[in-house]
């Protein structure tokens, strides 16, 4: 845990009543391959807290580790490192009976209400299954009104947990009370109390079987989640998607947990049904004092239901803070890009959508510095390149990422053999990549010829356009079919896409158009690739154009008075804040 995170937590110790504390949690998956490889770092060192009775939202792109994190918190996945403190106890160390006992306190509602229910079991059997597994009810007894040593015998046992006992017996007198949640009428319980000078013995007799109590509990749960008692004997396929999700919620509540992981509980449902399930979850939280981790893709849903939000990317928490504050003023570059994707129904709104280049890196081989460094639109540049135009810098970053992706791609034995023999493979073709990544320009004479060819084609003189292009552009200079290239050029002109026609010719016959101060470095890297040494090319580009974002992991910086934190180098004093750089890009 960083010093910033420790300070933030110490500052709010007196203000919060945390149920869950996650410290340095990592969940890695080993490949298990014969030759071995790097593990998949699904969750890679996250820190956060969840206050008792709070709903913490967890958002991010598919594959960022949200579900793995949720499953790790309820011990459906084994943590590789770090700790998960539940009421101060590290549940990652639990095993055997201790783990089974704790599972009553933490449950999960799965994303797909169809595949998470067993079609061969009735709804009653599905909801009752956790009750059977944990031999519910415990029939544990609290004896109040005496300081003497207490012994409980018969159908119950003395409560030794912090949880509220199922039955409370008052001494003297033997008055009985049964807690809410146990469908046991008091008149079906009898107690015999005998006292001595130093002890009290309570003999409990319950004339209702546990199986009958479980069935009654299931029917209560069906009513609680908005279903009917007679649904007990039906099968999952007889229900709609929203009803099936209600069944999953009832199953999760059966053992009266304190903490529930909601893994995209409404993403598979229609919008109208989503609203009903969300309202149900809020009502249940208020009624039973539940604590939620709410995993979702739909940011509008998260803003509606969650008290705080954690934004996740490539196994890391990028920003975490209060919902309204985070949505109104995101501080982390990734959060800003993610929130810009929220659709706005107002057609006059001029909100700028941030389109990120490429795709997230593989969690098997994440970047060494900031996890967002390969896609960040406000990545810190080396000081000597601050003046470089945005198009050139984007081209350099894109070239680095393409070479990085090529290094991770699986090469078949055939491709490796073809490479050794000097033959073309799908990993060849750096010239094609350069044409796509960087703008190209023609010398003045060719540029004039290009404009004449456009004018001829636009005037319906296709033969003249072909002749001009054939005179000034040598087909041997390009690996593309020259006739096909000319046909495409003329089609672009006829379609009114003159700039596309220009780019088609410039990219094939022009020189790479980059400033002189970076040209030699880019060409050196390209030459390394042409000679088959892509590792050296990647290292050379990193040495020349890499920054703190590539080399060092950022810290969680406190970015508001409420304790919101953001995982970004730009919050350091020597750098401009992300929002300042974003504004300059818009201008």
Q: By the 8 A CB rule, do 262 and 295 touch?
A: yes
| pLDDT attached to residue 433 | 85
- The pLDDT-based confidence of 531 (bands split at 50, 70, 90) is confident
- Tens of pLDDT, residue by residue over 287-329, are 999 999 999 988 889 998 999 999 999 999 999 999 999 999 9
Query: Of 114, 162, 160, nearest to 141 (Cα)?
Result: 160
- Transcribe 199-245 into DSSP letters: EEEEEEEE-S-HHHHHHHHHHHHHHHTT--GGGGG--GGGS-HHHHH
d(CA 516, CA 521) in angstroms, rounded, equals 10
- The pLDDT-based confidence of 413 (bands split at 50, 70, 90) is very low
- Tens of pLDDT, residue by residue over 93-117, are 999 999 999 999 999 999 988 899 9
- The pLDDT-based confidence of 32 (bands split at 50, 70, 90) is low
- Tens of pLDDT, residue by residue over 329-377, are 999 999 999 998 887 777 666 667 888 888 899 899 899 999 999 999 9
d(CA 545, CA 539) in angstroms, rounded, equals 10
> What mean pLDDT is predicted for residues 441-451?
93
More confident residue, 569 or 352: 569
| pLDDT attached to residue 426 | 47
| pLDDT attached to residue 430 | 83
Query: With pLDDT > 90 as the criterion, what percentage of the chain qualifies?
Result: 72
Instruction: Provide the total of helices (H) and of strands (E) in the chain, helices listed first.
Output: 21, 21
Is the predicted pLDDT of residue 8 greater than 60, yes or no?
Answer: no
- Which domains does the chain possess? 16-118+218-324 (3.40.50.300), 133-213 (no CATH), 326-355+553-586 (no CATH), 383-435+515-546 (no CATH), 439-512 (no CATH)
- Tens of pLDDT, residue by residue over 375-395, are 999 999 999 998 898 889 999
Place of tokens 């490796």: 416
> What mean pLDDT is predicted for residues 572-578?
95
d(CA 409, CA 242) in angstroms, rounded, equals 41
| pLDDT attached to residue 421 | 42
Is the predicted pLDDT of residue 222 greater than 60, yes or no?
Answer: yes
Output the CA–CA distances (angstroms, integers) from residue 166 to 291, 382, 533, in the order listed.
22, 65, 71
> What mean pLDDT is predicted for residues 550-565?
95
d(CA 483, CA 489) in angstroms, rounded, equals 10
Which region, left, alpha or beta, applies to residue 460 given φ > 0 means left and ψ of -120 to 50 means alpha? left
| pLDDT attached to residue 218 | 97
More confident residue, 71 or 386: 71
Q: By the 8 A CB rule, do 149 and 175 touch?
A: no
Per the prediction, the chain carries an average pLDDT of 89
d(CA 336, CA 328) in angstroms, rounded, equals 10
More confident residue, 508 or 536: 536
- Tens of pLDDT, residue by residue over 74-99, are 999 999 999 999 999 999 999 999 99
Is the predicted pLDDT of residue 583 greater than 50, yes or no?
Answer: yes
Q: Which residues pair with 310 in a beta bridge?
A: 58, 320
Q: By the 8 A CB rule, do 255 and 132 touch?
A: no
Q: What is the 3-state secondary structure (H, E, C) of 531-550?
A: CCCHHHHHHHHHHHHCCHHH
Is the predicted pLDDT of residue 35 greater than 60, yes or no?
Answer: no
- Tens of pLDDT, residue by residue over 134-176, are 999 999 999 999 999 999 999 999 998 888 899 999 998 889 9
- The pLDDT-based confidence of 268 (bands split at 50, 70, 90) is confident
| pLDDT attached to residue 466 | 93
Is the predicted pLDDT of residue 545 greater than 90, yes or no?
Answer: yes
Q: Which residues pair with 56 in a beta bridge?
A: 293, 308
Please tell me the least confidently modeled range out of 185-189, 210-214, 427-431. 427-431
| Strand ranges across the sheet with 149-154 | 149-154, 199-206, 189-195
| pLDDT attached to residue 270 | 85
| pLDDT attached to residue 409 | 66
């Amino acid at each position: 845990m960083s010093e910033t995170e420790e300070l933030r937590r110490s500052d709010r110790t007196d203000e919060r009543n945390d149920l869950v504390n996650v410290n340095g949690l990592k969940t890695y998956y080993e490949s298990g391959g014969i030759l071995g490889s790097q593990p998949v770092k699904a969750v890679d060192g996250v820190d956060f807290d969840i206050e008792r009775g709070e709903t913490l939202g967890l958002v991010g792109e598919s594959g960022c580790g949200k579900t793995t994190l949720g499953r790790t918190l309820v011990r459906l996945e084994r943590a590789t490192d770090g700790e998960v403190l539940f009421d101060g106890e590290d549940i990652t160390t639990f095993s055997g009976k201790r783990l089974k006992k704790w599972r009553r306190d933490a449950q999960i509602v799965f994303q797909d209400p169809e595949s998470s229910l067993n079609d061969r079991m009735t709804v009653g059997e599905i909801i009752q299954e956790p009750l059977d597994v944990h031999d519910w009810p415990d029939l544990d007894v609290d004896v109040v009104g005496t300081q003497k040593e207490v012994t409980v015998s018969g159908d119950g046992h003395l409560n030794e947990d912090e949880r509220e006992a199922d039955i409370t017996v008052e001494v003297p007198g033997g008055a009985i009370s049964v807690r809410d949640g146990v469908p046991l009428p008091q008149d079906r319980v009898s107690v015999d109390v005998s006292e001595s000078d130093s002890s009290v013995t309570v003999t409990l007799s319950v004339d209702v079987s546990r199986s009958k109590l479980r069935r009654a509990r299931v029917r209560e749960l069906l009513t609680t989640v908005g279903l009917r008692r007679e649904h007990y004997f039906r099968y999952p396929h007889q229900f709609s998607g929203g009803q099936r999700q209600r069944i999953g919620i009832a199953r999760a509540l059966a053992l009266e947990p304190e903490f529930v992981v909601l893994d995209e509980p409404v993403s598979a449902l229609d919008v109208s049904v989503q609203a009903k399930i969300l309202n149900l979850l809020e009502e249940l939280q208020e009624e039973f004092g539940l604590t939620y981790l709410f995993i979702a893709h739909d940011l509008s849903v998260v803003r509606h239901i969650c008290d705080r939000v954690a934004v996740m990317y490539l196994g890391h928490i990028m920003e975490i803070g209060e919902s309204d504050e985070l949505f109104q003023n995101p501080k982390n570059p990734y959060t800003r890009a993610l929130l810009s994707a929220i659709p706005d129904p107002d057609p006059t709104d001029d909100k700028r959508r941030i389109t990120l280049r490429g795709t997230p890196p593989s969690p098997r081989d994440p970047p060494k510095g900031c996890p967002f460094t390969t896609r960040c639109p406000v990545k810190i540049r080396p000081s000597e390149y601050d003046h470089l135009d945005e198009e050139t810098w984007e081209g350099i970053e894109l070239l680095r990422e393409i070479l990085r992706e090529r290094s991770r791609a699986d090469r078949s034995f055939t491709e490796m053999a073809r490479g050794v023999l000097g033959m073309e493979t799908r990993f060849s073709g750096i010239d094609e990549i350069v044409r796509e990544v960087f703008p190209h320009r023609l010398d003045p004479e060719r540029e004039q010829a290009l404009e004449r060819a456009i004018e001829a084609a636009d005037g319906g003189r296709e033969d003249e356009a072909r002749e001009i292009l054939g005179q000034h552009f040598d087909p041997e200079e390009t690996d593309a079919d020259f006739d096909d290239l000319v046909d495409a050029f003329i089609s672009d002109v006829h379609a009114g896409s003159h700039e596309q026609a220009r780019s088609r010719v410039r990219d094939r016959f022009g020189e790479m158009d980059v400033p002189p101060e970076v040209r030699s470095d880019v060409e050196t890297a390209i030459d390394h690739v042409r000679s088959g040494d892509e590792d050296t090319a990647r290292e050379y580009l990193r040495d020349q154009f890499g920054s703190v974002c590539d080399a060092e992991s950022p810290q969680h910086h406190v970015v508001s008075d409420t304790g919101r934190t953001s995982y970004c180098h730009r919050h350091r004093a020597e750098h401009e804040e992300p929002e300042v750089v974003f504004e300059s890009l818009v201008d």
